[in-house]
């Protein structure tokens, strides 16, 4: 497992990369991953060296480049071209989408309208960190993080004085434990994007683990405190499952039609519902009805309640704001399936305990349906044939 200590000096993309290098990741993996992007990134130089930050000997990483504006589509295409394994590429793209979702919301524009300054730095950070995580086999392991020190005080945002954390950083870290105890920016939007995509959960106190190695990723400047991101690599102690909290919304419905319920499902998922369950029941006066259960993040609860009331006419919704659940580690992997000269990419959802050992492996339904349509095979037969691709 990996434990990320972002409580002292926050986290940035450079610090994350430096910490992984300090753990023993191969720096050549960065060069190989970025090589296909030379035309997009332009001229750049990578600086890696050992430095001291406070009392810590740590690794320093910096990506020197010539700035130019790059569009959302150009950034996404660049990441697609990176020399990364499929899981690493999916992680890099997920980090990028997290960042652009936040920027889009803050500025009130769609993602395709965004133009990024320092785009080469952002792209290189996501690609480099994905390559190094893959090199250390950390993309499918348990990752926990401390609370995040964002820093506090003021900074200049679009020529206006604003408070820290930066708006995009705050949006990305919504529902995560954050604080600020130093008057400077400690956590960047890029660092926050990497962190929320990598960490399975955020905990108070140190992780229950047997530490094998520690990586120290240096911040750009030597401060009056140890400006390092600490990464602890080791073995989890006795933990089988991930722990997290969700909010559960519940209401009784006895007047909605099937068409209404189907449309309600679509709207709820579009607005952030994690899962939806409908349970048949008998209500007062022996009327048949349904119990609608919606699982969501707490931040989305009020909006989803409004949709439920508007679409069903229910008079109230029960809220269970802190529902604790145990979950397996989950990831998507891509495999190749061939049939009579045709080749298809198939995504499999893989779930496993924290200590390893695959528990569930299931092909994505949309990929199965696509194969069935293109080959003329029944969906059942496609499912049976894909069983042979499971590990």
Span 243-289, pLDDT tens digits: 777 899 999 998 888 899 999 999 999 999 999 999 999 998 898 99
- Determine the pLDDT at residue 391: 67
- Determine the pLDDT at residue 140: 82
What is the total count of domains within the chain? 3
Pick the last residue of a domain from 182, 213, 239: 239
Looking at the fold, whether 66 and 160 belong to one and the same domain comes out as yes
pTM of the model: 0.65
Residue 202, beta-bridge partner list? 145
Looking at the fold, whether 147 and 224 belong to one and the same domain comes out as yes
Tokens of 156: 């200049």
Looking at the fold, whether 97 and 229 belong to one and the same domain comes out as yes
User: What Cα–Cα distance (Å) separates residue 314 from each residue in 271, 292, 311, 318, 319?
Assistant: 19, 11, 8, 11, 14
- List of the chain residues with pLDDT < 70: 117, 157-158, 238-239, 355, 357-358, 391
Residues with Cβ within 8 Å of 84's Cβ and at least 6 positions away in sequence, in order, are 33, 92, 127, 130, 131, 134
Pick the last residue of a domain from 309, 327, 345: 327
Rounded-to-10 torsion of CA 168, 174, 180, 185:
-10
Tokens of 25: 């990741």
Residue 248 domain boundaries: 243-327
Looking at the fold, whether 22 and 138 belong to one and the same domain comes out as yes
Looking at the fold, whether 80 and 130 belong to one and the same domain comes out as yes
Pick the last residue of a domain from 239, 258, 288: 239
Q: What are the counts of helices (DSSP H) followed by strands (DSSP E) for the chain?
A: 12, 20
- Determine the pLDDT at residue 157: 67
Looking at the fold, whether 132 and 191 belong to one and the same domain comes out as yes
- Determine the pLDDT at residue 324: 79
User: What Cα–Cα distance (Å) separates residue 376 from each residue in 75, 338, 343, 346, 389?
Assistant: 37, 14, 14, 17, 20
| pLDDT tens digits, one per residue of 9-38 | 999 999 999 999 999 999 999 999 999 998
CATH number for the domain including 342?
A: 3.10.20.300
């Amino acid at each position: 497992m990996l434990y990320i200590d972002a409580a002292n000096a926050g986290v940035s993309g450079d610090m994350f990369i430096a910490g992984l290098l300090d753990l023993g990741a191969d720096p050549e993996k960065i060069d190989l991953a970025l090589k296909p992007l030379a035309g997009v990134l332009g001229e750049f130089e990578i600086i890696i060296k050992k430095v001291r930050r406070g009392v810590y000997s740590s690794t320093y990483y910096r990506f020197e480049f010539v700035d130019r504006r790059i569009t959302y589509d150009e950034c996404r295409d660049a990441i697609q071209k990176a020399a990364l394994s499929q899981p690493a590429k999916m992680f890099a793209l997920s980090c990028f989408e997290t960042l652009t979702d936040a920027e889009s919301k803050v500025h009130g524009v769609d993602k395709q309208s965004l133009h990024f300054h320092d785009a080469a730095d952002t792209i290189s950070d996501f690609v480099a960190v994905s390559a190094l995580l893959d090199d250390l086999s950390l993309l499918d392991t348990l990752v926990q993080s401390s609370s995040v020190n964002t820093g506090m005080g003021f900074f200049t945002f679009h020529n206006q004085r604003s408070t820290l954390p930066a708006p995009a950083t705050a949006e990305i870290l919504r529902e995560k434990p954050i604080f600020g105890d130093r008057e400077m920016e400690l956590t960047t939007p890029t660092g926050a994007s990497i962190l929320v995509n990598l960490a399975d959960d955020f905990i108070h106190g140190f992780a229950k683990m047997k530490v094998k190695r520690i990586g120290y990723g240096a911040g750009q400047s030597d401060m009056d405190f140890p400006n390092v991101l600490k990464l602890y690599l080791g073995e989890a102690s006795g933990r089988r499952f991930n722990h997290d909290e969700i909010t559960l919304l519940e209401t009784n419905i006895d007047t909605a039609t099937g068409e209404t319920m189907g449309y309600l499902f679509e709207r709820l998922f579009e607005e952030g519902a994690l899962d939806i369950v409908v349970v048949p029941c008998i209500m007062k006066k022996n009327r048949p009805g349904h119990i609608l259960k919606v699982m969501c993040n707490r931040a989305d609860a009020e909006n989803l309640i409004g949709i439920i009331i508007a679409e069903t006419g229910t008079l109230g919704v029960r809220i269970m704001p802190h529902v604790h659940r145990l979950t397996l580690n989950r990831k998507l992997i891509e495999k190749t399936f061939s049939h009579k000269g045709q080749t298809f990419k198939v995504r499999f959802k893989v779930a496993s305990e924290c200590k390893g050992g695959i528990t569930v492996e299931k092909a994505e339904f949309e990929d199965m349906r696509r194969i069935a349509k293109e080959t003329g095979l029944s969906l059942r037969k496609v499912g049976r044939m894909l069983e042979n691709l499971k590990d």
